[in-house]
Chain A
Amino acid sequence: MKQLGLKWQQFRKKYNIYLVLIVLFLICSVINPNFLSITNLSNISRQLAVTTILAFGATILIIGGMLDLSAGSVLALSGVLSVSCYKSTESLLLSFLVGVAVGIFCNLINAVMVASFHTPPFIATLAMLTMARGAALLYTKGQNILQLGNYVVFGQGSIFGIPTPIIFLVLILIITWYTLRHTRFGRSMYAIGGNEETAIASGISVKKMKYIAYAINGAFVGLSGVLFMSRVNAGLPNGAVNYEFQALTAAIIGGTSFSGGIGTASGTLAGAFIVGFLDNIMNLAGVDSYVQQIVRGAIIALAVIYDIGIKNHWKPLSKVSKAAS
């Protein structure tokens, strides 16, 4: 019996956040029957696709001890440039590549500041946040770009009945999972985030890895920009404000630790859906805007407290070594 109890504890420690997700799913299904329909779940996934892809980029960076506060703004910049490219060239492929390229370019600038000049990522990406937003507004003169025509296929189309944003989401999930678990780069991220000095000492070229991390994040952000603009059928220079915080929230709830060296792709996915289910059920139930904000903040805090508590067997944190978590 005690064996069973111990096994349950170990299981809970590892998979707690997924349990929270399942319990939340069940509660939502009971509160409102409309929640459980395929259309609704499909809606949620489509609504979450953009921020979750950003969250995967954030996860990779946070594991490596870095951060990206510029995600929302760079998303807007890549999006409007991609849309603009489509309007001039009518080429879906070219405009897609432009979006991704702009995302990578801005994040390489982040990488230069962080990896080459040792600027704290918070400051570097905060600077990029304002620069990218300013650039997007300057390029569009503050106006929305309209009449996107066929561009909407990225965010509103479907392949074999599955909406394209969901396909992109699954694709990026697989890429992130594989990169973190089965590549040298992924293992380096965990090492660098865990202890940078030790990582350097063990021969990892930290600078190169940081550049790669930001480049990957940039590709994800650029892709999100294309998805976002095509979903709203307009080039919105003001779009995606504060999306970087939604991305961070999903990553943190999913178990990624700000201290670095800890996090998983599936955890981030779970974190994103926990917030997504919450928002959705509150909208379906007609909860007031202001109350929604309060509830959202409270649930996020509770979910993380509960998760940390489970990992540390509810012992006071000072008595638990980092290794135990």
Chain B
Amino acid sequence: MKKCLATILAGILVLALVAGCSSTPQSSSKEPAKESQASQASQAPASQAPAAQTKDTYRVAYIARAQADSFAAWLANAIRDEAAKYDNIKLDVFDGEANDEKENSLIENAITNKYDLIIVQPNNGEAQRPYVEKILQAGIFAITTNARIDNIPGSSSVDANPYEQAAVNARLALEQIPQNAKVVVLNGPSGNFHADARRESWQKEFFDKRPDVTIVGEQIANWNKDEAMKYMEDWVQSNDQIDAVISMNDNMAAGALEVVKDNPKFDNLLVYGVDGTAEALLLIKEGRMTATCMQSAYDLATLLLDTANKLLTGQEKEINVDIDNPLITKDNVDQYIEILKKAGAL
């Protein structure tokens, strides 16, 4: 009896697997049978451009690349708050947990759940590209953000430009960093699009133009304050002279500053970051941090919901727009502190 049951169950399992595997050749072999069958169904009306429908409430899915790092969390919170202002939009947020496979599964689930519009914040643009294409093929609006995925006909995008975010700092550094300076560099996670683009920008806009500057330490601190602190402590130990800290984000820059805050030898240390976090703005106001570039999650959220609303109500068919990359220094930091205070972040 037991053996009979086991054989029948095994047979059903095999049938399910075979049915799954024989569907869309595009689907990776790791996908469970159910999901590939769903995507096959949604691919049937091939290349159906999304069309606006008149509805009372539109369901929008926001698929975040992660919610654990503070910028991604800020963005997710800002999008939620912004969506609450729209009566005709009901928003659901999903967490990709900084994992490509997880994010791709969430995109497929959102398609199956027939959302009207899906916003995707890619973990890795190329990994999510085929899945965003699936969204469009299912007749659902798609917006990619932070960072946009280029060249997907029919999809919209709202972005900040990580190359520019670093470049505005680098151009200032060209004037400020002294001749023959010794600098240290703090990088974001390896393979991360923003981390890579910002580093590339510093290379082209600064290091290539200033061959007199020496990098005495460069490590990956994974956007984290405590990891940056450890590296800075060791660098201070092994180098007589450090003139500047070039960081790909504000958290790591703040970590480096934490180490030298009571050390008079570093009173003139130049420190550059990106993001415009509350901590960075306060440090710039105190005169300890030199500059950062605001990556306003509030602006991204406002633009995203505005774009979503325009697409869903048929005002536009495709929108591609950027937020600004303002450089923040001691001269203009007060107005940004005001913005954060108004939003309750300070």
Write the residues of chain A forming the contact surface with B, with a CB cutoff of 8 angstroms: 32, 34, 37, 39-40, 43, 47, 137, 141-144, 146-147, 228, 231-234, 236, 238-240, 280, 283-284, 286, 289-290
- The A-B contact count (CB < 8 A) is 79
> What are 30 A-B contacts defined by CB distance under 8 Å?
A32-B238, A43-B233, A47-B233, A142-B67, A142-B72, A143-B70, A143-B73, A143-B77, A143-B345, A146-B278, A146-B279, A146-B282, A231-B229, A232-B225, A232-B258, A233-B258, A234-B225, A234-B279, A236-B225, A238-B68, A238-B69, A238-B70, A239-B224, A280-B234, A283-B219, A283-B234, A284-B237, A284-B238, A286-B217, A290-B190
Pairs A-B, 3 closest by C-beta atoms: A142-B73, A283-B234, A284-B238
Which of A143, A238, A283 meets B74, CB within 8 Å? A143
Which of A137, A234, A238, A284 meets B234, CB within 8 Å? A284
Q: Which residues of A contact B190 (CB under 8 A)?
A: 289-290
Which of A39, A43, A137, A283 meets B68, CB within 8 Å? A137
Q: How far is the CA of A229 from the CA of B240 in the complex (A)?
A: 29
Contact indicator A43/B72 (Cβ below 8 Å): no
Given contact pairs A142-B67, A142-B72, A143-B74, a sample of 12 additional A-B residue pairs in the complex whose CB atoms are under 8 Å apart = A137-B67, A137-B68, A137-B73, A141-B73, A142-B68, A232-B226, A232-B255, A234-B225, A238-B68, A238-B69, A240-B226, A289-B190
CB distance from A285 to the nearest CB of B (A): 8
CB distance from B339 to the nearest CB of A (A): 16
Q: Which residues of B contact A142 (CB under 8 A)?
A: 67-70, 72-74, 76-77
Q: How far is the CA of A208 from the CA of B149 in the complex (A)?
A: 57
Contact indicator A231/B74 (Cβ below 8 Å): no
Q: How far is the CA of A147 from the CA of B346 in the complex (A)?
A: 10
A289 in contact with B68 given A32-B238, A40-B237, A284-B237 (CB within 8 Å): no
CB distance from A126 to the nearest CB of B (A): 16
Chain B residue nearest to A233 in the complex (CB): B258
CB distance from B9 to the nearest CB of A (A): 26
Write the residues of chain B forming the contact surface with A, with a CB cutoff of 8 angstroms: 67-70, 72-74, 76-77, 190, 216-217, 219-220, 224-226, 229-231, 233-235, 237-238, 251, 254-255, 258, 277-279, 282, 345
CB distance from A75 to the nearest CB of B (A): 11
Q: How far is the CA of A289 from the CA of B222 in the complex (A)?
A: 11
Q: How far is the CA of A18 from the CA of B86 in the complex (A)?
A: 65
CB distance from B266 to the nearest CB of A (A): 14
Q: How far is the CA of A39 from the CA of B265 in the complex (A)?
A: 15
Most chain A CB neighbours (cut-off 10 Å) among B190, B231, B254, B282 = B254
Contact indicator B234/A236 (Cβ below 8 Å): no
CB distance from B280 to the nearest CB of A (A): 10
Chain A residue nearest to B233 in the complex (CB): A43
CB distance from A122 to the nearest CB of B (A): 21
CB distance from B286 to the nearest CB of A (A): 11
Q: How far is the CA of A297 from the CA of B220 in the complex (A)?
A: 18
Q: How far is the CA of A143 from the CA of B277 in the complex (A)?
A: 10
Q: Which residues of B contact A137 (CB under 8 A)?
A: 67-68, 73
Contact indicator B224/A238 (Cβ below 8 Å): yes
Q: How far is the CA of A161 from the CA of B234 in the complex (A)?
A: 20
Which of B219, B226, B279 meets A231, CB within 8 Å? B226
CB distance from A252 to the nearest CB of B (A): 22
Q: Which residues of B contact A147 (CB under 8 A)?
A: 282
Contact indicator A144/B279 (Cβ below 8 Å): yes
CB distance from B233 to the nearest CB of A (A): 5
CB distance from B240 to the nearest CB of A (A): 10
